[in-house]
Amino acid sequence: MNKKYIAHSFNRAAKKYDKIAIFQQKSGQHLFKLLSIIPGKTILDAGCGTGYFSYQWKLIGKKVIALDISSSMLKVAKKKGAANTYIQADMEMLPLKNESVDLCFSHLSIQWCDNLHHTLSELYRITKRGGVIAFSTLLEGSLNELKECWRKIDNNSHINSFMNIQDIKAICNIWKYKFEQQCWLTIYPSLITLLKSLKDIGATYLKKGRTHGLMTKNKLNKLALYYPHIGHQFPLTYQLLFGILYRE
């Protein structure tokens, strides 16, 4: 992972992110509702983005630490008064003391980390005994419609690969945990809208490097030809894992 490029990608997306991140907000609401009754005062929102959920935690009386790798995302979060404290940092190197928060909340962020075991270990380290680490991430099979279309066009890497649930379970076996898997289907009115949405939320960074060449009209036409759709309905599937680790 090139964290510099990841930060740059989300920096560019920051100003318009809240208006278009509908899937991110709705899916994150599920994780939030699972945890909102959990006692404890101090919350770390790891990979907070524009502070959408930081603000919800703050509204129910929590002391919120908003942490993100993107300075522009944090700037938006700070402007809306989403948290009590703002930290620009990498989730894999948390600048927080051992057992310093009651709950770690991380929605759709850990897939941008190099080492899942190390990332979860860091979140575990800073969580107080009796607290929880709650996260969501994309699983293998996400964005599959787009991935399959690209395979018919060239051999380049255009879509990120995601871990499968068995590998994540193997990593988490050293802790007490609970998992829930869900499939979310999003619908777009056109292929261009679908592609623009992915770009505008900052999710186009490729783990294995950039694609070769720009999107041409010819490639776009081929994508439109191969993409599965009915009329003006272009589906895109997300496979999600909601996980809770119990700090013992």
Residue 21: per-residue pLDDT: 93
- Residues with Cβ within 8 Å of residue 214, at least 6 apart in sequence: none
Residue 248: per-residue pLDDT: 94
- Residues with Cβ within 8 Å of residue 97, at least 6 apart in sequence: 126
- Return averaged pLDDT per consecutive 10 residues of the chain, 248 residues in all: 85 91 94 84 97 96 97 97 98 97 97 94 97 96 93 85 95 97 96 90 66 69 90 94 96
Residue 212: per-residue pLDDT: 47
Residue 210: per-residue pLDDT: 52
Residue 156: per-residue pLDDT: 81
Q: Which helix (H) or strand (E) holds 188?
A: strand 176-188
In one-letter notation, the amino acid at residue 26 is K
Report yes or no on whether pTM surpasses 0.75. Answer: yes
Output b/e per residue, 200-212; b: 16+ Cβ within 10 A: bbbbbbeeeeebe
Residue 32: per-residue pLDDT: 94
